[in-house]
Amino acid sequence: MDKLLRSLHTLGALVMFIGQVARSAVTPPVYLGETLRMMNVLAKRCVIPVSLAVAPVGAVISLQGISIFKLFGAERMLSSFLGTAIFREYSPALASVMVAAQAGSSIAARIGTMKVRGQIDALAVMSVDPVRYVVVPGVLACVIVAPLLSVLTNLLGVFSGWVFAVPIGGIDHGAFMEHLTAQITPADLWIGLGKCSLFGLGVGLIAGYLGLNVGKGAADVGKAANDTVVSTIVLILLVDYAVSMALLGAGL
């Protein structure tokens, strides 16, 4: 009972926090320089891990796919399966999970460190709203960087799939390119980017909330970073599943 009350309290605080972030993001002053700086930091932190995560996926789909498609004599069609899998599912999910792991943890750790070392109070005493100055730039950066990363993972996933299908697997390059986009529509690409922005939003908000509400010491900062990663990854996978089901249901 006590636990339930506390969860409700946290949920209420989170909702209020989200309201404050939303209001701060659309009313002046907006700290654009901080936002650009955060985008730069986050993009640099994410680009290599996200590449390393998606490249093997494209390769594995091609490797596994060829042997199965061959049973039906349909290996020319392989790329349509690869394209669908990468563009619709793997690319947005992997990009988002990596944003959660890298960007989410670094935002939560940065804000948490500022909090335990009194820098958040210092900002407030200098009449700078910490939500505006440190939370909003992190949230905006996640919302923008996550879809940009998924563009990268789209290209890389397809490229590594191509390497294992065409030069190594012996599939005709023309056929590969012809079928690559056969099963996907521009809407799929937009939905993928939209999902990434949505997940980036969730990562930025949760990281900001847990960072600002960190406990008292260095160990609590680690905990805030860790909690951010775990909760956002679970959230991403659940919401991704729900969105995919809903879109399939809607015939998209």
Partner 1 sequence: MADPTSTPDDTPAVVLDNVSKSFGDHTVLDGVSLTIQRGSIAVMLGPSGTGKSVLLRCLVGLLQPDRGRVLVFGEDVAALDEKRAADRKRLFAIRRRFGMLFQDGALFDDMTVFDNVAFPMRLHTQLSEQAIHEKVSDRLARVGVAHAEQKFPSELSGGMRKRVAFARAIAIDPDIVLCDEPSSGLDPVMSATLDELILELHRTLGMTFIIISHDTAEARKVADTIGMLANGKLVTFGPAEQVFAENHPALEQFFTRATVGPIKVV
* By the rule CB under 8 A, 125 interacts with partner 1: yes
**Residue with smaller CB distance to partner 1, 129 or 227:** 129
Site for partner 1 in 85-114 (CB under 8 A): 113-114
* By the rule CB under 8 A, 183 interacts with partner 1: no
Site string for partner 1, 129-168 (x = CB under 8 A): x---------------------------------------
249: which 2 tokens? 């249901």
CA dist 68 and 155 (Å) reads 24
**Residue with smaller CB distance to partner 1, 48 or 124:** 124
Q: Report the residue from 63, 128, 155, 163 that binds partner 1 according to the rule CB under 8 A.
A: 128
* By the rule CB under 8 A, 226 interacts with partner 1: no
**Residue with smaller CB distance to partner 1, 17 or 162:** 17
Q: How far, in Å, are 36, 52, 54, 181 from residue 48 at the CA level? A: 20, 6, 10, 26
Task: Please choose, out of 81-89, 119-127, 150-158, 232-240, the segment that lies near partner 1 by the rule CB under 8 A.
Answer: 119-127
CA dist 34 and 107 (Å) reads 13
CA dist 12 and 204 (Å) reads 18
Q: How far, in Å, are 79, 179, 188, 189 from residue 184 at the CA level? A: 11, 10, 6, 8
89: which 2 tokens? 């599912």
Minimum distance, C-beta of residue 126 to partner 1, in the bound complex (Å)? 5
Say how many C-beta atoms besides its own lie within 10 A of residue 159's C-beta.
Answer: 14
**Residue with smaller CB distance to partner 1, 23 or 173:** 23
* By the rule CB under 8 A, 6 interacts with partner 1: no
User: In a 10 Å sphere around its CB, with 0-12 CB exposed, 13-18 middle and 19+ buried, how is residue 73 labelled?
Assistant: exposed
* By the rule CB under 8 A, 213 interacts with partner 1: no
* By the rule CB under 8 A, 127 interacts with partner 1: yes
Minimum distance, C-beta of residue 138 to partner 1, in the bound complex (Å)? 13
Minimum distance, C-beta of residue 29 to partner 1, in the bound complex (Å)? 9
Site for partner 1 in 7-26 (CB under 8 A): 23
Q: How far, in Å, are 102, 212, 232 from residue 106 at the CA level? A: 6, 13, 13
Say how many C-beta atoms besides its own lie within 10 A of residue 29's C-beta.
Answer: 10
User: Which parts of this chain interact with partner 1 (CB under 8 A)?
Assistant: 23, 113-114, 117-119, 121-122, 124-129
